[in-house]
Amino acid sequence: AIVLNQSPSSIIASQGEKVTITCRASSSISSNYLHWYQQKPGAFPKLVIYSTSYRASGVPSRFSGSGSGTSYSFTISRVEAEDVATYYCQQGSSNPNTFGAGTKLELK
């Protein structure tokens, strides 16, 4: 199975700050199959970015993604209070699909 290593495991950021999360895969993944989810406390996960860089419907433009091969990143250009959540990367390139361990974003 492809292992996704997410870093950092937690981030403490100030409002307005830029944050970046990295997702590194143990084997190369097609960029069409790398996705990012947001899970707010007590809620179900919500798709934020699909196929590396495409924002899901209704997702603000401050969220973006990039990458290729084994290295992918997720960025929030200016963190807002409502962005407090845990973020997960997921790959569907190779069976079984797998998730990263998650990155918990908190506000300073």
Partner 1 sequence: EVKLVESGGGLVQPGRSLKLSCAASGFSFNDYWMGWVRQAPGKGLEWIGEINQDSSTINYTPSLKDKFTISRDNAQNTLYLQMSKLGSEDTAIYYCAREGRGYVMDAWGQGASVTVSS
* 52 vs 95: CA distance, rounded Å: 18
* Residue 95 makes contact with partner 1 by CB under 8 A: yes
Which structure tokens are listed for 48?
Answer: 């934020």
Strand partners, 108: none
Of the candidates 15, 51, 68, 71, which one interacts with partner 1 according to CB under 8 A? 51
* Residue 99 makes contact with partner 1 by CB under 8 A: yes
Residue 43, classed as helix, strand or coil, is coil
* Residue 87 makes contact with partner 1 by CB under 8 A: no
Taking phi over 0 as left and psi of -120 to 50 as alpha, with beta for the rest, 4 belongs to: beta
* Residue 23 makes contact with partner 1 by CB under 8 A: no
Interface positions with partner 1 (CB under 8 A):
1, 32-33, 35, 37, 39, 44-47, 50-51, 56, 86, 88, 90, 92-93, 95-102
